[in-house]
Structure formats: C-alpha cells, structure tokens
Structure 1
Amino acid sequence: MEQIYRIKYLKKFEGKSLRKIANITGHDFETVKKYVEQDNFNIEIRPKQIRSGKLSPYRDLVIKWLTDDIRAPHKQRHTAKRVYDRLLEIYPDEFDASERSVRSFVAKLKAELKFDKNASLPLDHPPGEAQVDFGEARFIENGTTYDGHYLNISYPYSNGGHTQLFKSENQECLLEGLKAIFEHIGGVPTAIWFDNMSTAVKKIKDYGERDLTKGFLRFMLHYGFKSNFCNPNSGNEKGSVENKVGYHRRNLFVPLPEFKDLREYNKQLLNRCDQDMQRQHYKGIGLIRDLFEEDKKEFLKLQEIPFEVYLHEFVKADNYGKVRFDTRIYSSSPSVAGRQVMIKAGAHDVEVLDSDCSLIVKHKRLYGQEKESMIWLPYLELMAKRPTALKYTGLFQQLPLTLKQFLEDCDYECKKQTLKIFARMTADTDMATAVAAIEEGIRCGARDADSLWVTYCRINSGSLPVMDVPLPDTVPELNRFTPDINVYDELIVSGGFKS
C-alpha cells in the first residue's frame, strides 16, 4: 500500500510523468498507469471461497442427504463418517477422497445449513460383561412410519454390540430383544448393566437396593445373569452402551430403514452387527471380532429351554366379542361375547385364549396410531349360520361395501352360501384377497356363491380345481384311439402329390 501511495504522490504532487515514475519506483509502466488512474480504495468484502476439490461432484448429493435429515429424528441423522461410508458404497470405483477430507467437507456444509453435532464418551469393563439401553429410531414397515425404539447391547471389553428394532420399549420388547441376541451369540453375559427402566425396576429403595418387576426377575433367573443398575441420572456409568446407541443409529438406521417384516429385518440386523466386528478396536489393540471371542469365553451357557416372552392378563369381551388391551381393541369371537378371556401378549403378537387356554385368534400387536385389529373369520362363520339377522347387526356395517351390496341383493340361500364361501376364502388366504376375489367375480357377472368361488380359485391358483366325476356302470368303456398318419405318407411322392 505504501508503494501505491508513493506512485500517486509523485504524480499528483510532483507532477512526474508515468515513464519517470516507473524509472524512479522500478515498477512496470502499466502498473504505474493502473494505480495512477485508480480512484476507489474501499475494501471489498468477499465470501471465503470453499474449495471442495475431489468432493465437488458429490456436493448436491450430500446436501440432499443432510436436508432430508430434517424430517428424521435428531439422533438419526447423517454424520461425516456415515456420509463417507455411503459415498464409498455408492461409488466404489471412482470415489477416492479421504475420510478426513469428507469430515471437513461435511462440517462446512453443516455450517452452511446450520446443523449441529453430538458426541459421547466410552467406558471400559472386564470381559464377559454387557450393558443395555434403548434408543429411539424412526422406521417404515409396509409403508407405515413408526417412531420406534431399538434395544442395544454392548460388550465393553471388545467394543462389540448387537441391536434389535421394536415399535415400543415395553417389557416384552426388552426381553424379546435380549433373548434373540442371547440365542444369536450362543451365550449369556455374566453381568449386565441397565439404567432404571420401568420395565425392569419397580422401585429404587435405600442403599441402592431395587424392587424388580416379576417378568424381568423371571427372565434373569432363567438365564442366570447378574443385573447391575446405574445410579439415577448417571448414564456415564454405562458409557459403552451410551456410545453404542449413537453408533448403531448412525451406521444402521441412516437413512430411515424401510422393510416389509420387522422380525425378518431384526435377523438381518444381528448379521450386520456381526459383520461390523470385522474392524479395529478404537484403541488399536486388535479386531473387535477377536476380542469378542474372549468375551464369549466368559459368557454363561445358554439354557436349552428357551424363555417364552409374553404378558398375560384376563379381560372381558364386549357384546361383539371384542377385547381391550393396552388401550387398543382386538377382536376375538362372538362365541365369547360378554365372557372373560385371556390375553397373551408378546412383543410382536397378541393371542386371545378362551377359558381352556385354547387359541381363539392371533393378532399382530398394535403400536403407534393403530387402534383396532379385526380378524373376521370367527364372525363370518357365525353370520353364515344366521344370514337373516346379518343386516341388523353392527358387524354388517363393518363389512366391505362390495360384499354388503352383493348380500343385499341375494336371497336367503344365496346369502348363506356366500357367507360360507367368504369365510372359506378368508381362512384360506386373508380378508383382502377374499374381497379382491369377490370384486373381480361381481365385475365378471357372478351372481351366486359358486361363481365367486370359481373366481377366487382362478385368481389364486391360476386354474380351476379339477373334480373327480364318478360315472355310472351303464356308461360303456371306450377304447383309446391312436391315429395312424402313415396313410398320408402314401399320398406324397417326390416332387409333389399323386395326381
């Protein structure tokens, strides 16, 4: 800046020519001319240039991932490590940026988008022990979105871990998840650390003693492990699993998992956790897989008899045979209307049993916004016996519209047979398939139960059922006729036909 001032001074106050100033200052003539003519010396503020280098082709994709994260729970969003792993998965042949450069790249993008980041601390323990905690994760099953929970178990010595995804964190989910993990690893940790979750602890007493829930106590006795509980509000006492909760969320549940069946997905999760152990321990003391083998040597032997996880209670069915459990409604059978039945609820299913503990129906357990589950088969069988009273029941209003219209146009016998066929279809496949077959049959002009059944068989088997037709003795037996085409060969001669 001092040189520029001198050039301006020589010209303005001493009247030197541009050539003379160039000779005096030693600067190029064009440089002298430039600064003599310059009259604006304000500082221009410019944004800092972000040099992304190798990562520039992936900028839009990464921004999309980070933007999509806004719709996901706060703890279920992309980290720099997850971004790096996904770019390697998607572009295995062309992506060659380092993890460090990706971390810097993502940090700059998050700063632009005003995102935050979280961290957690690890904790060490002896071989054979474990820590357990739940995390929250959103997922999509068969197109329905659930704000669910995932059970995490970590093995602090090896830094290994497993997880299972559920729609709740009730006691059935806790025990079902632990049972699945025990069976998968072929053993039981000697001691397991928990926080004071209500599914395990009823009350915290003086001197650190605790009253445990009966279900958890039975589970603990069955598998023989020792349970340890953290002090209230002391998550740092089980820092290993606190860290694992975040690790599983970032590496297994980003982006939001989407699947058809939760139980099948949980089996895949266990295998993915095994594969994740093919990496170095964070302290650099060896592979997690090898250290986990040392953990397993200390594990307790798995019981030959598996623990059956369920909650049971007695409830009274209403006049329609419906029962209320866990604030939700499940159908049973009109045969038990107004009577007491037993609910046997697991993490995924709810069974309704009669007074003899025989199964009436089995439902998929309801979670989230799901409020009622209806299994029609027991009701259809009753309605088939009482077709005249069908229209005056509350159940008639809950039937599919297509079936209601068809039944209103039927006479007594047609109505009775249609309900029997409908019950048979539902028992053979499911309600949706049966309704689809009826709609197709009506569209094709079916006006009786037999025609509807034929349509159902055509849709689901591809062909009509073959029926044996007994013939009376008066029908003569016909000999099998085999045509002889040699006679046609005699008519053919070389070059054409006989004239």
Structure 2
Amino acid sequence: MLAMPEIHHIKHLREKKGLSLSEIVRRTGFNWRTVKKYADGDISVRQKIKRKRGMMEEEGYGQIIDDWLEEDAKLPRKQRRTSKKMYEQLKQEHGFKGSYRTVCAYVQKRRPQLKLEKERRYERLEHPPGEAQVDFGTMSVVTKEGKEEDRSILILSFPYSNAAYAYPLPAENSECFLYGLTQLFRQAGGVPRKLRIDNLAAAVVSIRKGGERQYTEAFERFRLHYGFDVQACNPYSGHEKGNVERKVYYTRQHCFVPAPLIEGDEELAEWLHRKMIEDRARPHYEKGRTIEELWQEEQKELLVLPERDLPIFSFHHANVNKYGEVTVDGEAFVVHGIPVPNRV
C-alpha cells in the first residue's frame, strides 16, 4: 500500500493534470495496476486498530526487564541474567503472573531493540559517555636526594566528562602499559566501553594494508579479559585522540610545574590520584557543569570490572654469565643455586 502523499500525487496527476495512466506510470515509476487502482478508484480510509500491547508493557513488567537488560549489558556475558532467572525474579519480587514463555519472547524482542536505541542516542554525540583515550606523557619529579628525574605517566581520559586518571610507570613497554591500564581501570571504578589509542609499540605490532592493526598477543588477551573495544588512530593522526593529548599537556602544567618533590613511585601514584580527583571540581570547558557532575553520569556507562585482574607478565630468555648474573632491562641480577660457566 502506498503512503497517502503518493496516493494524492497520483490523483492530482490524473484529475487535475488530466494525464493518461501510461504517463503517470512513466512519471512515478509505480506499477500500472497500482496507478490504475489509485488514479480511478476510491481512496478507502481504514481505521487503524489499536492493538492491545499485553501485560509486559501495560503492567510495567517490560520496563523492569529493560532496566535489567541495560544493567547486564555492562557485565561479562557469563554473569548476565538468563531469561529463566528474570522470570523467577519477576515472580518472587514483583508478583508476576505471566508465563515463562511470555518473558522469553519479550527478552528476545527487546534485547536487540535496546542495543539499537542506545547506538542511535550515542551517534549524535561526538564523544559518547563511557569511551576513553589513553597515552603516555613524560613528567619531571625531584627525588628525596634532590635529583630531577623523568617519569612516564600513563593517562586515561574520558572526553564526555573531561575526567581523567594518571598512573606513574618505570617504562613504556608492554608489561608497564597493561599494568598501568589495570590500575587506571580500578581507579575509575570500571572499564571503558571503547578505548582509543595511537600506534603504541606496547600494544601494536604492525599496521597492515588497509589500516588493519595487528596487536600484541598480550594486549589481545588483556582486551578480551576486560571486554572493551579498541580503536586505533590513523598513522600520524594524534589529533584523533586530542582529548588525551590536551590532558597530558594540562597535567604537566597543572601538576608538574614546578617539579614536585616525591620520595617514591607509590607516593607519586597516590598524590596523582588525589590531584586528578580534585581537578574534577572545576567546570567543564563548554558544558556549563562541573567535571565531577558529568563524571558521575558517565561512570554509570562503564563496564563492570572483572572479579580478578589479569596477571601481567612476560617470558624472556636470559643467559647466565660467569659471575652467576643475568641482565634484565639493563640491570644485572645474581641468580643463586644454578651452575655457572667455568671462569677462565
């Protein structure tokens, strides 16, 4: 059946313009039978029948399930409620009188609809809540001996609210990167749904033809364990993660000029955490609300942390020299209880 504007257009061409059926077919592209039906026939007005929506919608049980589906979307799949669990919970907690089959049908219908509705809400936003960017920055500190040293600071920023977290690390290798992300997720109280990174050597092995990234095996395991999606920037396109780039600069100017006196990395981590929380009291640069208010909203969109952190480690081959030492990251360690080569 054609829409009413199309029907009126056919009637107008026939009655007001006096065109033949063949000419109307040529102009509109509709089938000849369809044009004949609406050009010379009566337009019957059919009353739309309002269908009864059922107990799930009319008695509010559907909204309860919608809320559960939204909550469960943040959890690992094995921790989500099954249709049977929802049915039992509705009966016990809300006095549901319907059947298990009714609940199954509603869940099957609503799960993809809710996902699509959420994507449509987010596609209007340049930076949807729950998405983050990450990058390293080099900052200067003063040790208790009075010596100025550089520290690698891993910064996780959330563009929607402009909240951020920072963690000091001894290096920018794969193990430090993944350990730092683990600490930042814990500080944030959840896992971002999508993480934007540049082509860090700690995570990206190579860029294949067409822009596809080959990630390190350790980073792939880490991503699967925590459940986030990763989005890599194009080569030489740091502006694609401009929020964290600006946050690195802001953190350096706000926290490390002049260089703070720090006794150790543990103290530096605690101090940085306090500074980033305090910074959320200022207004957002364009939304007219504080970063803290926006962060409280955004935090609800994070994925739930897994019950256990993924162990971070790597295997390397090392040779023992004639002094019973192995060298790791440029530092020699004595290994006791193993045979050493004969000294010459």
Q: TM-score range by the shorter chain?
A: 0.5 to 0.7
Partner of 1:216, secondary structure, is: helix
Normalised by the length of structure 1, the TM-score is: 0.42
Counterpart check, 1:160 vs 2:168: no
For residue 173 of structure 1, report the CA deviation from its aligned partner.
Answer: 1.9
Query: Which residue of the partner structure matches residue 316 of structure 2?
Result: 313
Q: Check the 8 A contact 1:194/1:230 in 2, yes or no.
A: yes
Letter in 1 for 2:140: R
Q: Which amino acid aligns with 2:295?
A: F
Whichever residue aligns with residue 132 of structure 2, its letter is A
Correspondence for 2:131 = 129
User: For residue 139 of structure 1, what is the aligned residue in structure 2?
Assistant: 141
Q: State the alpha-carbon separation in 2 of the partners of residues 178 and 314 from structure 1.
A: 26
Matches within 5 A, 1:261-276: 261-276=264-279
Structure 2, unpaired ranges of 5+ = 1-124
Paired residue secondary structure (1:283): coil
Instruction: Give 1:255 shift.
Output: 1.1
- Whether the aligned pair in 2 keeps the contact of 1:322 and 1:337 (CA below 8 Å) is no
2:209 is aligned to 206
Q: Which structure 2 residues correspond to residues 415-430 of structure 1 after superposition, within 5 A?
A: none
Secondary structure of the corresponding residue to residue 336 of structure 1: coil
One-letter identity of the residue aligned with 1:160: A
| Among candidates 256, 263, 273, match of residue 260 of structure 1 | 263
Offset at residue 210 of structure 1 (A): 0.8
Distance (whole Å) between structure 1 residues aligned to residue 229 and residue 335 of structure 2: 40
Aligned length: 218
CA contact (8 A) 2:165 2:188 kept: no
Q: What residue in structure 1 maps to residue 188 of structure 2?
A: 185
Q: Looking at both structures, which has the greater relative contact order when contacts are Cα pairs under 8 Å and sequence separation is at least 6?
A: 2
Distance 1:153 1:177 in 2: 10
Query: Which residue does the alignment assign to 1:151?
Result: 154
1:184/1:167 CA distance change after superposition, 3 Å: same
Q: What amino acid sits opposite 2:293 in the alignment?
A: D
- Displacement after TM superposition at 1:336 (Å): 1.6
Quote the Cα distance in structure 1 between the aligned partners of 2:143 and 2:202: 25
> What is the CA deviation profile of residues 220-242 of structure 1, one whole-angstrom value per residue up to 9, with x for unaligned ones?
11111111000000011111111
Amino acid at match of 1:249: R
Paired residues for 1:20-419 under 5 Å: 124-143=126-145, 144-333=147-336, 335-338=337-340
Deviation, 1:267, is 2.1
Distance in 1 separating the partners of 2:260 and 2:171: 16
1:469-496 CA-partner distances (Å, limit 9, x unpaired): xxxxxxxxxxxxxxxxxxxxxxxxxxxx
Q: Partners in 1 of 2:273 and 2:225 — Cα distance?
A: 23
Task: Give CA deviations for 1:375-406 in whole Å, capped at 9, x if unaligned.
Answer: xxxxxxxxxxxxxxxxxx9xxxxxxxxxxxxx
Cα distance in structure 1, aligned partners of 2:224 and 2:333: 32
Query: For residues 340 and 144 of structure 2, what CA distance do their matches in structure 1 show?
Result: 35
Tell me how far apart the structure 2 counterparts of residues 225 and 253 of structure 1 sit (CA, whole Å).
31
How far apart, in 1, do the equivalents of 2:287 and 2:130 lie?
20
1:124 CA drift (Å): 4.8
Note if contact 1:129-1:190 (Cα within 8 Å) is conserved in structure 2. yes
1:146-198 deviations in Å (ceiling 9; x for gaps): 32221111100001111112232112221121111111121000001000011
| Alpha-carbon separation, structure 2, partners of 1:254 and 1:336 | 49
Deviation string 1:91-136 (CA, Å, 9 cap, x unpaired) is xxxxxxxxxxxxxxxxxxxxxxxxxxxxxxxx95110000011111
Alpha carbon RMSD of aligned pairs, Å? 2.1
For 1:301 and 1:258, locate their aligned partners in 2 and report how far apart those are by CA, in whole Å: 36
Q: Secondary structure at the match of 1:313?
A: coil
Q: Which amino acid aligns with 2:127?
A: H
TM-score, normalised relative to structure 2: 0.60
* Secondary structure of 1:154 counterpart: strand
Secondary structure (helix, strand or coil) at the match of 1:312 reads: coil
Contact 1:186 1:302 in 2 (8 A): yes
CA contact (8 A) 1:319 1:337 kept: no
